[in-house]
């Protein structure tokens, strides 16, 4: 029917991302398909079933602004706090512990990758890594893809984790319950906005986000001014990546203004150039392959 055609177009047309935002926002919990029926039309499937998946996809893909975490990252921190993870534990074992104690319903390989990502500290990853990378957790060579197997690397809580997520705030958290088991809270309450410190990236249904990293010291300074009701300047907050030796410049000459990261290079001979820094998230191996094609 025409209604079915419209529903399918709404769900899958690449040019209707904004319409999908309204579609997901309009959905109300409990409005589901009658599962006693033997058949369901396309319109009901899209608007009562697919919309549930799409909403969940956004929740899993887009970090929460309060704590900067996606659900899997929040489960990892919950289990690290619950276990009081002060001593090294194999990433593979930690993933198993998380799956058991946080009602994690997805593959452990994906969970292991998220643990590794939260412990990475090379340029372009985390400004503040909440987990310790004990072993080969990846480098700028391949953007972290060169991390060792989860069976051979270890992690534990960084000491700063309980400074950012203070234990005294745990009583304020709204812990969830699933299948009779207490699991992670809806969100944590960090003392500084971690979503700005470590940035955020994600692509969900209808929505996507990309936030750069910022300097924790700049954020703290602005927070103190805000608390004291002093005037704030957005110019005071410029993207910053720990260890990056290039430059970050504001580019307002295009239709879509923003910041650009610039590497460094110098001519060392009539036919040679020495590159000493690459732009953020431009990985060494990828750049070598790019140069080899010139």
154 is catalytic: no
Residue whose token pair is 């060392």: 268
**How many C-beta atoms surround the C-beta of residue 128 within 10 A?**
18
What the block records as the tokens of 156 is: 């534990």
Q: What is the spatial distance between Cα 79 and Cα 130, in angstroms, rounded to a whole number?
A: 13
In DSSP notation, 185-219 reads ES----SS-HHHHS-EEEE-SS-EEEE--B-HHHH
Residue of 65, 88, 84, 293 whose CA lies nearest to 188: 65
* Spatial separation of the C-alpha atoms in residues 75 and 13, rounded to whole Å: 33
Residue carrying the six token digits 């150039």: 273
Q: Dump strand ranges (E) for 17-150.
A: 89-90
Instruction: Give CA–CA dist 146/138, Å, rounded.
Output: 5
Instruction: Out of 152, 154, 241, 287, pick the active-site residue.
Output: 152
Structure tokens at 254: 């295009």
61 Rama class: left (phi>0) / alpha (psi -120 to 50) / beta = alpha
For the stretch 14-17, contacts whose Cβ atoms lie closer than 8 Å and that sit 24 or more positions apart, written own/partner, are 17/206, 17/207
Q: Cα–Cα distance between 68 and 127 in angstroms, integer?
A: 13
Active site residues: 152
């Amino acid at each position: 029917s025409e209604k079915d055609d419209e529903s399918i177009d709404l769900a899958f047309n690449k040019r209707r991302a904004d319409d999908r935002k309204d579609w997901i926002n309009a959905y109300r919990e409990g409005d589901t398909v009658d599962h006693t029926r033997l058949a369901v039309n396309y319109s009901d499937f899209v608007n009562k079933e697919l919309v549930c998946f799409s909403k969940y996809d956004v929740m899993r893909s887009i970090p929460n602004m309060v704590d900067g975490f996606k659900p899997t990252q929040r489960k990892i921190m919950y289990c690290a706090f619950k276990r009081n993870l002060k001593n090294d534990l194999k990433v593979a074992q930690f993933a198993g512990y998380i799956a058991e104690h946080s009602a994690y319903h997805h593959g452990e390989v994906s969970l292991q990758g998220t643990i590794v990502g939260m412990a990475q500290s090379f340029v372009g990853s985390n400004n503040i890594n909440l987990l310790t990378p004990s072993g080969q957790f990846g480098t700028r060579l391949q953007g972290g893809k060169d991390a060792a197997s989860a069976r051979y690397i270890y992690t534990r809580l960084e000491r700063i984790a309980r400074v950012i997520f203070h234990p005294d705030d745990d009583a304020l958290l709204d812990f969830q319950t699933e299948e009779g088991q207490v699991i992670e809270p809806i969100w944590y309450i960090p003392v500084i906005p971690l979503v700005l410190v470590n940035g955020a990236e994600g692509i969900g249904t209808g929505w996507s986000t990309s936030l750069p990293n910022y300097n924790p010291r700049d954020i703290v300074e602005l927070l103190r001014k805000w608390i004291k009701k002093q005037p704030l300047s957005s110019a005071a907050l410029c993207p910053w990546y720990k260890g990056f030796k290039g430059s970050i410049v504001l580019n307002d000459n295009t239709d879509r203004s923003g910041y650009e990261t610039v590497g460094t290079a110098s001519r060392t001979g009539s036919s040679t150039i020495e590159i000493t820094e690459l732009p953020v998230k431009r990985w060494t191996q990828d750049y070598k392959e790019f140069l080899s094609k010139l």
